[in-house]
Structure 1
Amino acid sequence: MSPKPIRKAVFPVAGLGTRFLPATKVVPKELLPVVDRPLIQYAVDEAREAGIEQMIFVTGRGKTGIVEHFDIAFELEQTMTERGKDLSVLECTRATPGDIIAVRQQVPMGLGHAIWCARAIVGDEPFAIFLPDELMVAREGGTGCMKQMVEAYQQVGGNLISVLEVPHEQVSSYGVIDPGVERGNLTEVRGLVEKPPVAEAPSNKIVSGRYILQPEVMRVLENQGKGAGGEVQLTDAMARMIGEEPFHAVTFDGNRYDCGSKVGFVEATLAIALARADMGDQVRAIALDLLK
């Protein structure tokens, strides 16, 4: 029997973005552009590629611009049309009516709590989670991270997380998996360890901001107390589900950029710009000149 399809995705976007102040004082971090697309656009495009139909944004105060980004800007489009400008650049920002839903996380109580805030919309369906800070870029000619995960999910069902391999000396900065049987890009998950000492890390496979979870996680989160940092942690809820349901990791064939940090954001911008046919050569020449 085939597993239920993944039709819905949750985007926790209620954070304050304090690492990027003052830029994020009035502009949500998720709307900061990597070249000419905001972070949230990359995540939504990845979701659409994977066949996801409904985007659920868990927002907070001052984050309404994220929803408005996917609305139709009548005045803008009318002005562009009158001036003979191409409207195709806006096509990715238009959502089909009903495909964008926003719910509020009134109190910043952690990632697990943010996901739980979407419980009524998720209902009794498996769903995806995207952390937009993690910009996942497919290799040239390849497919996005979530599409790779959905293809794996169709084979094994259950719960899946995306992982990447990093040098062992870096594992203490991340959550890592305790791996079981490996089959191609799929690894059985026997446990999750948050920021382990290098000598105690069970693997060098780090959790990287994409998830496919069964709806039971909402019931786990419902009764879960606060964890690290005094917040409701999604990792704790997932750890409780290991052994109860199939749980696998998908090693992403592509590149990850940590846009939650300033250096990672600059790296992502440079990498995306260099890969663009319309500007790559110019950006490369500028970068080489600056490095002289």
Structure 2
Amino acid sequence: MTVPLRAEGVELAHGGAPICRDVTLELARAEVTALVGPNGSGKSTLLRTLARLHRPESGRVLLEGADIASYSPRGLARNLAFLTQTPTVPSGITVAELAAYGRHPHRGLLTGRSGSKDRDAVAWALEATGTGPLRDRQIDHLSGGERQRAWIAMALAQRAPVLLLDEPTTYLDIRYQVEVLRLVRSLADDHGITVAVVLHDLNQAAAFADTMAVLAGGRIIADGRPADVLTEDVVRTAFGIDTTVISDPDTGLPTCLPYRRDGEPAPVPGAATGAGHAADH
């Protein structure tokens, strides 16, 4: 079966300075892949490369088996949606109007008018993101979490099978971070969308993603299921800090515990009774 999106031997640079080399990454169909790593590791640049917004120095990106460079702009937008970290929009528009922007790749070249398919797609995007009740609210008047869901609704209205999100939880408090990540999880589980998301929080990535790719030192140093990727050795190599990683006894998902301010390892919850245990490496 064709992989929805794949980077093959990609080398990335910015302003002539190399960022990443020999990056190969596959996004599995209807799964969430989290890109994590320290600042400056190339997470967002790699995501932009997957969206054809940054040209690699070498290597290629394949979308449904075809070189992404071969797609027309409209053809690409019908197959892949990208939401930047800090999108901007003219003030005064409503949530429904914002979502309707996502239909531009599907409208007629001559008339530009929306039809029943466009209206259905917008209605679906609003329902999927829980923004239906907000459809007539102006974007300027929404909370941070509501605004982010409205932006995702715009991306979903493209009805593209692949969605790329660059740090969608930035500037949100913990409640809205979890809300957005639950939405991302439902897009894969309930709607079959292939999602790649750049995140900073390792524990959130492990909890909500099917796979994690850790970028550091100009390459992907670990790629796979969270239980295999989020280890003390990987965190030390990528971020240069010592941590304690435990495995949740109910879910088996790893959780990274930072060291205390005195430099001693953080206590493992339940260690005295055997309820917690260090993750295997």
Question: TM-score when scaled to structure 2?
Answer: 0.26
Question: TM-score when scaled to structure 1?
Answer: 0.25
